[in-house]
Amino acid sequence: MRMFLRIVTAVTVIAITLSVYGKASALTPDEVAKKSQAAFLYPGKDFKARVMMKLVSKGGQERVREMTMLRKNYGDIGGEQKYFIYFYQPADVKDMTFMVYKYTGKDADRWLFVPAISMVRRIAAKDKHSSFVGSDFTYEDVSGRNLEEDSRSIVKEEKAGNKDCYVLKSTPKAADMDYSYKMAWIDKSTFLPLKEEYFDKRGELYKVFTAIEIKDVKGFPTITKRSMKNLQSGHMTEVAYAKADYGIGIEDSLFSERFLKQPPKKWIE
């Protein structure tokens, strides 16, 4: 009898341990979000790409924004980053440069250099409500959002294409966003978002993000082609990265007024 009780106890303990362990091995929604942020916005110590942005109106008219984007991380995943962007196209913004110091918990610092009058100016812009160069992407879509600002849950797990995904629902805690919530299909192996759906205040789907092409760049799975489509306006933006690269040794000094005015050839090409 004693022996039997011992066995039962042992089995129970093992079962509980296993179940607890099993639970722990599944990721929480916040962990998924954190891993996705790391894979999507923070890979590498630094990053560079030639970015081709195509803005397509409902009627099919295309406009092109071509730029070189450089990014460098400071501190941990989710921490400070600096961006340096040089514009090639269109003609009226050629040679303009744009610099962003991104922080956590407060709005970014931004500077714009206007070559025609040789002027460096700070730009007052809010990350949440500013379209990036007139595209369907906001600044936040480009450089990320503070994870603290959303509450989230894993709604389900399903395949997107042939990839197993977590379906993560993120709801902004404050009511100051254009969308009421967002559904994201996060690849379980790479943690990149393969698809995102934005729902407006009435709960209707109005904006869709799609990762069109993913390539391995120096061991980092990278979305090299993506689109954002606004279903209400019919406007769409397609973004393609060429010459994407990581760990290229961008110096801290690049992110300065000096180089904003005279962007070094070796970095912008």
Partner 1 sequence: MHNHARYIVFFILVLHCIAASAYAADISLHGFLQGNYAAGVAASNPDGGNFKSAEERLQLKLDAAKDPLHLLIKADGWYDHVGKKWDSELREGYIDYTANAWDMRIGRQVITWGVGDLVFINDVFPKDYEAFFSGRPLEYLKKGADSAKIGIYPGFASFEFVLIPYFTPNHFPDSQRFWMFDPFSENGSVITDRNKEKPAASLENTEIALRAYRDIAGFDASLYYYRGFLRQPSIMPDNLMMPTKLTLFYPRLSVYGASLQGKALDGVLSLEAGYYDSRQDRQGTDPMIPNGQTRFLAGYQRQLWEDFTIGVQYYAEYMHDYTAYKRNLPPGFPQEKRLHDLVSIRLTQFLLHQTLRLSWFSSWSPSDSDYLLNPEIKYNFSDHVWAALGGMVFGGGRLWSQFGQLDRNDNVYMQVRYEF
List residues near partner 1 by CB under 8 A. 55, 57, 61, 63-64, 89-92, 94, 107, 109, 116-119, 122-126, 129-131, 133-135, 235, 253, 256-258, 262, 264-266
Residue located via tokens 């091995």 = 25
Contact (CB, 8 A) for 211 and 238? no
The C-alpha torsion from 145 through 150 and 156 to 162, rounded to 10°, is: 0
Q: Shortest Cβ distance from residue 102 to partner 1 (Å)?
A: 13
The bridge status of strand 181-187 relative to strand 119-122 is unpaired
Closer Cβ to partner 1, 125 or 214, answer by number: 125
Torsion angles phi and psi, residue 32, rounded to 5:
-60, -45
Closer Cβ to partner 1, 55 or 165, answer by number: 55
Q: Which two tokens stand for residue 252?
A: 């801290």
Neighbours of 234 (CB within 10 A): 12
Residue located via tokens 């918990």 = 105
Degrees (nearest 5) of the Cα angle 62, 63, 66?
135
Q: Shortest Cβ distance from residue 237 to partner 1 (Å)?
A: 9
Q: Shortest Cβ distance from residue 228 to partner 1 (Å)?
A: 12
Q: Shortest Cβ distance from residue 117 to partner 1 (Å)?
A: 5
Closer Cβ to partner 1, 36 or 237, answer by number: 237
Closer Cβ to partner 1, 61 or 162, answer by number: 61
Q: Shortest Cβ distance from residue 268 to partner 1 (Å)?
A: 11
Closer Cβ to partner 1, 109 or 158, answer by number: 109
Degrees (nearest 5) of the Cα angle 62, 67, 69?
135
